[in-house]
Structure 1
Amino acid sequence: MKCSIFIPSLIISFLLLDNVMSLHKRCIRCRSRGELGTCGDPFPFNVTEPDAEVGIHVVACPSGWCGKLIEGTTGAFRSDDYGAATQRMCLQRPPSDYEERCAYTMWNHKKVYMCFCNGDLCNAAFRISKFPITLIISILLSLYNFL
């Protein structure tokens, strides 16, 4: 009898956890210039504790799409530049083709390197995929129901 409950409870818990996790998408918001900046690559902070550093913010992102923009890497710097500037942000809307990618593009009349990603805190350097976590939790919940 308990075995017949195992599969449906596994499926239901997987779907519920996946939906809950996808509703709360956040992005890192920051901007810094130069090698010593706190927003650059590699991102020097754990994404679960970014508010500990001034200028690093975790913001709710209704579109679910985050971005990372790097400017100043394609040519000579002006005399007032201190190096490449890195900016992480929530995008107001997704790319027209809904594809995650990085490429050179024009932004405010400048050639910049920009990345688009879809997911919770995906614009931090380290990305934790929600699929394995959701799967593990679902299996544990199902095993608990089975026993």
Structure 2
Amino acid sequence: MNYKTIFLCSLMGVLLIKEANCLHKRCIRCRSRGELGSCGDPFPFNVTEPEVEMGIHVVACPSGWCGKSFEGNIGAFKNDDYGAATERMCLQRPPSDYEERCAYTMWGHRKVYMCFCNGDLCNSAFKFSTIPSTILITILVVVYNFYHS
């Protein structure tokens, strides 16, 4: 067995383990009112360490769809945020069109602004795009073949 075969088998094994871990999707679950709560935007915590703040929970989400809702609005005076609340949760089922978006919707007999997203801990903060694993594999194989051929 040559080194090229060992390298490619190891690389595929690591990527398969990574993909298996991504099958279990999680969401942030919390709720807070006003600017003083810990659940608002911008989300001030590292999602890998949610235990540092009371009321912030990382929960398994079988549907894979997370949500973030903004209830209430800023009153007539700019500092009047008594009715404003932010809630992050796991959705029991995805939107009917399976589209990630933000829009006004009815939730619990109230009109709220809600964002839907699909992915692991996607309701914790803004998404940063990552390099798909197939492109990463291709780049690594090309670099490896270039230096070891």
Q: Judging changes above 3 Å, is the alpha-carbon distance between structure 1 residues 28 and 90 closer, same or farther for their aligned structure 2 residues?
A: same
Task: Give the fraction of aligned pairs with identical amino acids, expressed as a percent.
Answer: 67
Gap regions ≥5 residues in structure 2: none
Cα RMSD over matched residues? 3.5
Matched to 2:39, the amino acid is C
1: CA distance between counterparts of 2:17 and 2:128? 15
C-alpha distance after superposition, 1:42-64 (max 9, x if no partner): 00101111111000000011111
Aligned to 1:132: 131
C-alpha distance after superposition, 1:45-102 (max 9, x if no partner): 01111111000000011111100011002767xxxx7241000000011111111100
Aligned to 1:96: 96
Aligned to 1:27: 27
TM-score of the pair, normalised by structure 2: 0.75
TM-score of the pair, normalised by structure 1: 0.76
Q: Judging changes above 3 Å, is the alpha-carbon distance between structure 1 residues 127 and 13 closer, same or farther for their aligned structure 2 residues?
A: farther
Max radius of gyration: which structure? 2
Name the structure, 1 or 2, with higher relative contact order (CA <8 Å, separation 6+). Answer: 1
Number of aligned residue pairs: give it. Answer: 139
Aligned to 1:121: 121
Secondary structure of the residue that 1:69 maps to in structure 2? strand
Matched to 1:57, the amino acid is H
